[in-house]
Amino acid sequence: MEILKKRIIDEGIIISDSIIKVDSFLNHKIDPLLMEEIASEFCNRFSDKSFNKIVTVESSGIAPAVLTGLKLKIPVIFAKKAKPSTMGSFLSARVHSFTKDKDYNIFISDGLISKGDRVLIIDDFLAHGSATRGLISIVEQCGAKVDGIGIIIEKGFQNGGSILRGLGYRIESLAIIEKISQNEIRFKD
């Protein structure tokens, strides 16, 4: 997705050879017009699929997930990173953040995902794939099927994408970064 790659190059801030900051349009300040184009691109790439729910994780996944949900006219469920006191029975999964070097749990209330659901998982980043695997685990604990995974930025130099593709999941990443160096972000193809 060329317009996305251009924004990453123009506005991404290289923090290290594995971390870029895209706070000016994706993770902190959000450009809703770009998010709408991202949602359209997810719909195009998955036009052969018939999802009935989108699942993401708070917070940066919410904007692209809701705009995609609006186009597909299907609900969006976002996993929470802390269990609210008002949450009754729930499903959870353990996630490791390599950026923050810590483990945390993600939670989805029981009953929001049902057996037979055809789920599109959407997230902003795919790197080692821990958060995505956590979402897959919860969806599958519910007896539902992960029918597609839509990622805005995949770090192709980390192994999350290859592991998940190897397990048979269909992943569509709108920009795959092959290498981050001191002064360059290089994309795959």
- Decide if residue 15 touches a second copy (CB under 8 A): yes
What crossing angle do the helices spanning 62-72 and 32-45 adopt, rounded to 10°?
60
Q: Does 3 bind a second copy (CB under 8 A)?
A: no
For a second copy, which is the closer residue by CB, 70 or 167? Answer: 70
Q: Is 185 left (phi over 0), alpha (psi -120 to 50) or beta?
A: beta
Which of 35, 38, 164, 176 touches a second copy by CB under 8 A?
35
Report the residue number, 58 or 178, with the smaller CB distance to a second copy. 58
**Tokens 């009953």 appear where?**
111
- Exactly one of 70, 83, 114, 162 binds a second copy (CB under 8 A); that residue is 70
Q: What are the backbone angles phi and psi of residue 10, rounded to the nearest 5°?
A: -70, -35
User: For residue 82, which phi and psi values (nearest 5 degrees)?
Assistant: -140, 145
Q: Which of 5, 9, 18, 36 binds a second copy (CB under 8 A)?
A: 36
| Residue 63 sits in the site that holds a second copy (CB under 8 A) | yes
